[in-house]
Amino acid sequence: MANTLYTRKQLLELDACTGCQACADICPAVEAAQDGQLSGVHRLAWMRQAFKGRGGVLRRLFGQKPPSDEDWKRFSETVYRCTLCGNCQEVCPAGIQLKEMWLTLRQELVQNQHYPEKINLIRDNLEESHNVFNEDNSERADWVEDLDEEPEDGLIKDQAQWVYFTGCVAAFFPLAQQVPVNLAQVLQAGQVDFTLLGEEEWCCGFPLLGAGLKDATTGIIAHNLAAVREKKAKGVIFACPSCYMMWREHYHAEGLELYHSTQFLERLIRAGKLPLKRLNLKVTYHDPCDLGRGSREFDAPRAVIKAIPGVELVEMERNREQCLCCGGGGNLEMIDQELNKGIAKQKIDMALATGAEAIITSCQQCVRTMATYCRRNEVPLKVMDISQLVRKALDVEED
């Protein structure tokens, strides 16, 4: 196992693990699969042994043989059966930056050709069509046809104050297209000057990062930044937490204001631009991993929900920093669909325990994962993105 990609801090963190198993106790994959080999504590122990077997003085000192190719293959399968939710990092008493460790580990596995072959589909699809589904990218804004009134410009302007960066899942997956449809109508109601990028929007690159293919993101980042700057926009709005986090952490988008949709909606509500009518609805809120733990945004979505008269918010047993992942992250669905479903079941069961009529989230992938589970298992629980909730509450007659 090479260590060229690991920082000195990460190499020190490998030995900082106390083996307390707090990460295993909180891991949604471990709980759903009942497999301790999916835990962070197991992963770190394996990595330490692999380093000792690399060769030289350490190998002679410890008498440790390096792992075989078959060993690496089995290990990589456990590494990729992870949603990268970051809950292990949240509870680690040693303060190890575990999520970053897993991303670096996946890079190492790719570099050394020890990774699931399915991961190549992500790179191939993005190279060919610039989206994770390998759809015709010229159709990225076709969802605009589902607006109550389809604008003549298709929501694609030469210039605008804001760019709404739609994201692959919302652009192409039918179950998630209600997110951009509703958010666009809310932005219109708030008289926001915004544009889409249309086919000039490429995948943000986050699926590549999560797959261990970080080096392949460079061209994507440059293209998307250039496309936004060509619109002379002051900033970008994201409904996808992964796109939002990717831009904040890897785009170096100097001079651009970056907002997740929940933050932008809260801003519009505070400015009095969105008249909201009463909704008699009991809801619970699911914190998307990349918005909550990843971007530390817990308050804006709750402020938006609480601003709607008549809506009662009840929290799940695990919420905010400790919120249970929906199962839709880390490219897990591509690697292990059954584990993806098992984690989704845990999430839905926890939501049902609150007695809520609907589970609200602020991520199209969370909507897709949870709504798919509810539909296939006939669970009587509405799954809604926060943009759908706000759109439902808009007092159109007074607008």
pLDDT at 380: 93
Mean pLDDT of 6-23: 91
| Res 297 pLDDT > 70 | yes
pLDDT at 70: 85
115, 212 Cβ separation under 8 angstroms: yes
Per DSSP, the three-state class of 385 is strand
d(CA 328, CA 326): 6
Q: What angle do CA 116, 118, 122 make, to 5 degrees?
A: 120
Torsion of CA 229, 124, 47, 71, to 10 degrees: 180
Contacts of 184 (CB under 8 A, 6+ apart): 144, 147, 155, 164
All CATH 1.10.1060 domain ranges in the chain, comma separated: 8-111
324, 32 Cβ separation under 8 angstroms: no
Which residue(s) pair with 235 in the sheet? 162, 257
pLDDT at 54: 57
d(CA 302, CA 312): 11
Q: Is the dihedral of CA 14, 19, 21, 22 positive or negative?
A: negative
Q: If one looks up domain 8-111 in CATH, what number appears?
A: 1.10.1060
Helix (H) or strand (E) holding 259: strand 257-260
pLDDT at 55: 52
187, 194 Cβ separation under 8 angstroms: yes
The one-character DSSP state at 394 is B
Mean pLDDT of 99-117: 92
| Res 56 pLDDT > 70 | no
Burial category of 159 from C-beta neighbours within 10 Å (exposed 0-12, middle 13-18, buried 19 and up): exposed
Which residue(s) pair with 164 in the sheet? 237
Mean pLDDT of 270-293: 96
| Res 68 pLDDT > 90 | no
Query: pLDDT tens digits for 98-107?
Result: 999 999 999 9
pLDDT at 141: 96
| Res 395 pLDDT > 80 | no
Least confident of 41-50, 157-166, 301-310, 375-384: 41-50
pLDDT at 44: 94
Class of domain 276-398: alpha beta
* Radius of gyration, CA atoms only, the chain: 22
Class of domain 136-268: alpha beta
Q: Is the dihedral of CA 88, 89, 91, 93 positive or negative?
A: positive
Mean pLDDT of 157-176: 95
Q: Is the dihedral of CA 183, 188, 191, 196 positive or negative?
A: positive
At residue 5 the predicted structure's pLDDT band, cuts being 50, 70 and 90, is confident
pLDDT at 321: 94
Contacts of 337 (CB under 8 A, 6+ apart): none
pLDDT at 227: 97
| Res 57 pLDDT > 80 | no
pTM above 0.85, yes or no: yes
pLDDT at 28: 96
Q: What is the mean pLDDT of the chain?
A: 92
At residue 3 the predicted structure's pLDDT band, cuts being 50, 70 and 90, is low
At residue 187 the predicted structure's pLDDT band, cuts being 50, 70 and 90, is very high
| Res 160 pLDDT > 60 | yes
| Res 340 pLDDT > 70 | yes
d(CA 316, CA 353): 8
Task: Give the whole-number percent of the chain exceeding pLDDT 90.
Answer: 83
At residue 58 the predicted structure's pLDDT band, cuts being 50, 70 and 90, is very low
383, 178 Cβ separation under 8 angstroms: no
Q: How many helices (H) and strands (E) does the chain have?
A: 20, 8
Burial 323-347 (b: 16+ CB within 10 A, else e): bbbbbbbbbbbbbbeebbbbbbebb
Task: Give the whole-number percent of the chain exceeding pLDDT 70.
Answer: 94
| Res 97 pLDDT > 70 | yes
Which residue(s) pair with 394 in the sheet? 276
At residue 241 the predicted structure's pLDDT band, cuts being 50, 70 and 90, is very high
| Res 62 pLDDT > 60 | no
1, 67 Cβ separation under 8 angstroms: yes
| Res 311 pLDDT > 60 | yes
All CATH 3.40.50.1860 domain ranges in the chain, comma separated: 276-398
Nearest to 115 by CA among 165, 150, 80: 80
At residue 274 the predicted structure's pLDDT band, cuts being 50, 70 and 90, is very high
Query: What sections of 320-399 are H helices per DSSP?
Result: 332-335, 337-352, 364-376, 386-393
